[in-house]
Chains A and B, each alone.
Chain A
Amino acid sequence: ETGVTQTPRHLVMGMTNKKSLKCEQHLGHNAMYWYKQSAKKPLELMFVYNFKEQTENNSVPSRFSPECPNSSHLFLHLHTLQPEDSALYLCASSQDWDREQPQHFGDGTRLSIL
């Protein structure tokens, strides 16, 4: 799936660092999502954006800060993370937030917190 591109693919950071994850979609979609995939746990929805407006914040700690400057780009800013935040972070997009529109996923960023 090359329609949704995530960078970097891997990221190792200390707990005091600040970094950002980037997601770009080339599908002309208007809705974008961040999910967290931890070992032995279901994928967890973190944030939803529709037409650049955040519509869902699934009780995510404030050390995760999303940004959606336009419908094609989505960022996840990271600050003062904890070891339990180590996971695969997946970005997805869909045409809009109609339930019938399937979500297309990127390959994810593997984040490791030292």
Chain B
Amino acid sequence: AQSVTQPDIHITVSEGASLELRCNYSYGATPYLFWYVQSPGQGLQLLLKYFSGDTLVQGIKGFEAEFKRSQSSFNLRKPSVHWSDAAEYFCAVGGGADGLTFGKGTHLIIQP
């Protein structure tokens, strides 16, 4: 069975500082990995995705993620966060007919 673990429930970062959100997955085959962001009262917006090829993928809003098969990880990074990045971030694996399996999410708080 596939699963996703986001070990950090909350993360607080100062505005302008760098960010890394952790994601570990369990998947039987080649994983299809996604990061989504959810602002309060809204649905999920896709930040980036990984299927194959270059293990460092670029997404929207200045985010990137690195796939590390040996560590079963797909961590999300941003060099310098903005106050508008405060939101809930979800890592997901799978897709297609089985739907997506999500982690519990990481709540990002930005300090001024």
Residues of A at the B interface (CB closer than 8 Å) are 1, 4, 6, 33, 35, 40-43, 45, 48, 50, 55-56, 58, 90, 92, 94, 97-108
- Report chain A residues within 8 Å CB of B97: 48, 50, 55-56, 97
Query: Most chain-B Cβ atoms within 10 A of its Cβ — which of A1, A42, A92?
Result: A42
New contact pairs (17) apart from A90-B44, A103-B100, CB-CB < 8 Å: A35-B99, A42-B4, A42-B104, A42-B105, A43-B90, A45-B101, A50-B97, A90-B43, A99-B32, A99-B51, A100-B32, A100-B95, A102-B49, A105-B36, A105-B45, A107-B43, A108-B43
Please count the residue pairs between chain A and chain B whose beta carbons lie under 8 angstroms apart in the complex.
67
Q: Are A56 and B44 in contact (CB under 8 A)?
A: no
Residues of B at the A interface (CB closer than 8 Å) are 4, 32, 34, 36, 41-46, 49, 51, 90, 94-105
B66 to chain A, nearest CB (A): 19
Q: Are B94 and A41 in contact (CB under 8 A)?
A: no
- Report chain B residues within 8 Å CB of A43: 90, 100, 102
CA distance A58 to B4 in the complex (A): 18
CA distance A91 to B91 in the complex (A): 18
CA distance A33 to B43 in the complex (A): 13
- Report chain B residues within 8 Å CB of A103: 46, 95, 100
CA distance A39 to B104 in the complex (A): 9
CA distance A59 to B41 in the complex (A): 27
Q: Are A42 and B43 in contact (CB under 8 A)?
A: no
